[in-house]
Structure 1
Amino acid sequence: MKILIVMDPGILVPPKGYGGHERLVYMFAKEYTRLGHEVHLLVTTGSVVEGCTVHPFGSEGFPPKKWDARKAIPVAWKFLWQHRNKFDLVHNFGRLAYLLPILNHPIKKIMTYGREISSRNIQLMNKLPNRNLVYTGCSKNLISRVEAGGRWEAVYNAIPFQQYTVQPTVPSDAPLMFLGRIERIKGAHTAIAVAKATGHRLILAGNVSPLADERVYFEQEIEPLIDGKQIQFVGPVNDEQKNHYLGQAKAFLFPIEWNEPFGMVMIEAMACGTPVIGFGSGSVPEVVQEGVTGFVVKTKEEMIAAVGKISSINREQCRTVAEVQFDVPVVAAHYLNLFTK
């Protein structure tokens, strides 16, 4: 099969640093190629994916300039129209508008969402003649918030599990872990409170948000509690550091205060054998299997209590159960099977 993967220009594939969907694009392109498919990518100029053909599309720079973002639409339209008979499948991780020229063409189309979805855009698209179009969201919870027609399927995000090392055991005094942007809705303040209430050390990792309100949040509510002993802040971490810190943790705390569409870091923790204790918002009840890969709780008090039960979880089983759901080959197969049902 000949597959085209499309992503908004701005971030290279693979990304140099952070890049949520760009990481997924890279992983699925590699997996589709491994399965024997011919893979092409319409992605940011300068991207390189071994074994695939890259069609340069826009310039690097995030967030992209408004004019560059607008220019991307007609460029995508021209490319898709000119090559409409050359591909069997278009897997779009970018703007829905890119698909307009081929909307009613028999080519198979997957439109993948990993963040909040505009019901209005979907409704407008569905009023137009269309064929062989499947919308996917990274969780059932995300899709449940869409009020639009069309065919929808929940396809979870994935990580390459072979890049993470499972730690079968950790000492009783192992730290708790928080990893994410340091902003209020991610709940770093709750993670600190849970660590203090349970007498555990806490490794706090992630970027401090550049937004003014969130900078104030960090400086007034988080930074004063960082003592370098019980509460340690290690800042942004790369993949190698992430594997190290998550692996040595007793539990990963995910005290979110919003409806997280997925939360990739939860499965990164599970890949290291580290169970997740998360508030039951957004995708958390779908990702965490109660008592197997972690605990879903409602309040800070329940999170504190769950820390005391964390030793009941088998870390190797935590990794195994997560792997059969969220490893790249599993999720890539789910995408490719959408049109065989």
Structure 2
Amino acid sequence: MTTVLVNAGPWLPVPPGGYGGIENVVATLVPELRRLGVRVVLATVGTSELEVDELLCPLAGPRFESVAAPYNQVSGIAHAHMHEVAAELRRRTDVDVVHDHLEVVGPAVLAAMGRSAPPALQTLHWDLRKHADFYERFDGGGRVRFAAVSRSQLERAPENLRAQAMGVVPLAVPTPAGAAGGSGGAPGEHALVLARITADKGQDVAVRVARAAGVPLVLAGPVAGIGEPGELRERLAAGEERLLAHPDVRYWCEEVAPHVDGEQVRWVGCVGGEEKERLLRSARALLTPIRWAEPGATAVVEALGRGVPVVGTPLGVLPTLVEHGVTGFLADTEAGLAACLRDVGRIRAEDCRAAAARWTPEAMARSYLDLYDALLEAAG
């Protein structure tokens, strides 16, 4: 039996309570790996509740609230996590492969360990241009390799990184229970943005687009790691200096919050479970007016799986996931997005669900099993 250490990192529990793209992917992948006969050791934070064979928790609680703080304030978090992961890998001999999800610090530490660590595969979840100095120079020595989550992500990667990539494995989300719900013919009332509130996700654009289309808007996602509206209000009122300096908080206060009126535009904070399901299934459309080349977009797959069309900008992986005029619409101007949002009633829910059926958890897990085998063979 193959044993894989899956490194989810120190930012959020697995599964996350609400927002958590990478952690949701890990929570989707691990049960399928175990079902296919893999023994999984999960490196995460102490509040994780995913059922695994072994749990390694270097840090007791999640540190997501600190993730966008200045480097000199938070650089120790990822390194503290990886220090214990490295110590665990040196201590034991039964781990065959490390499947890493910790940006930059994960592959850097694993490569520095050389043959004292098992071969490692890192899934690339982010924009590969933001750490160009690292990716243009990194050498995994044939023992640390990479998997992209979309072809468009890999195409934008530095040549040095592309040479060390083993393939592309699209992200999957759990199949929704039941086929009812969703849009198509009789769209719901609200448009939904399901994302961390930050400038790259374009919530300010979503506000203007929804107003122009005459459609109510629901924003779901955390601000600087804070998922409760009441908590954010209290902490802002208290004048927490570190919180006020956070770029996502400044974006929220200046560009988004002034438009949140509780009627036309609502912010519901982080959502999960039944609340998230209700918001998705009753949505007119998922609105994704992103400003960056999103590599994976699990929220898009979640929406399509529930028969909900997607309206977004044609960046990153979105042209791969959304078939214009069939499962949603893509437009590169706010006026175009507003027109698309008004027109989603002609998108059929069954076409959305059929598209999402291509990205199943089992398919993702089997693709990774193939890459684990190839990695072990290549690393000798």
TM-score, normalisation: structure 1 = 0.85
1:146 aligns with 2:157: yes
Match of 2:141 in 1: 129
DSSP 3-state at the match of 1:253:
strand
1:273-312 matches, cutoff 5 A: 273-312=307-346
| Structure 1 Cα separation of the partners of residues 21 and 182 of structure 2 | 28
1:12 aligns with 2:23: no
Match of 1:197 in 2: 212
**Structure 2 gap ranges (5+):** 68-73, 225-242, 375-380
RMSD of the alignment, in Å?
2.9
Amino-acid identity (%): 28
Match of 1:81 in 2: 90
Match of 2:378 in 1: none
| Structure 1 Cα separation of the partners of residues 94 and 87 of structure 2 | 14
Match of 2:191 among 165, 176, 195: 176
Deviations 1:55-77 (A, max 9, x none): 33333240385445433344322
DSSP 3-state at the match of 2:80:
helix
Match of 1:92 in 2: 100
Match of 1:332 in 2: 365
| Structure 2 Cα separation of the partners of residues 74 and 223 of structure 1 | 39
Deviations 1:279-306 (A, max 9, x none): 0122211221222321221111221222
DSSP 3-state at the match of 1:250:
strand
1:112 aligns with 2:123: yes
Which amino acid counterpart does residue 121 of structure 1 have in structure 2?
Answer: F
Distance 1:287 1:32, change over 3 A: same
| Structure 1 Cα separation of the partners of residues 248 and 165 of structure 2 | 38
Match of 2:239 in 1: none
| Structure 1 Cα separation of the partners of residues 168 and 50 of structure 2 | 26
Match of 1:72 among 81, 101, 123: 81
Distance 1:52 1:193, change over 3 A: same
Deviation of 1:16 (Å): 3.8
Distance 1:281 1:50, change over 3 A: same
Distance 1:191 1:2, change over 3 A: same
CA contact (8 A) 2:187 2:344 kept: no
| Structure 2 Cα separation of the partners of residues 5 and 263 of structure 1 | 21
Match of 2:30 in 1: 29
| Structure 1 Cα separation of the partners of residues 81 and 354 of structure 2 | 41
CA contact (8 A) 2:95 2:118 kept: yes
Match of 1:187 among 202, 215, 219: 202
Which amino acid counterpart does residue 134 of structure 2 have in structure 1?
Answer: N
Deviation of 1:318 (Å): 0.4
CA contact (8 A) 1:164 1:271 kept: no
1:221-260 matches, cutoff 5 A: 221-260=255-294
Higher relative contact order (CA 8 A, sep 6+): 2
Moved more, 287-296 or 62-71: 62-71
DSSP 3-state at the match of 2:176:
helix
Which amino acid counterpart does residue 170 of structure 2 have in structure 1?
Answer: Y
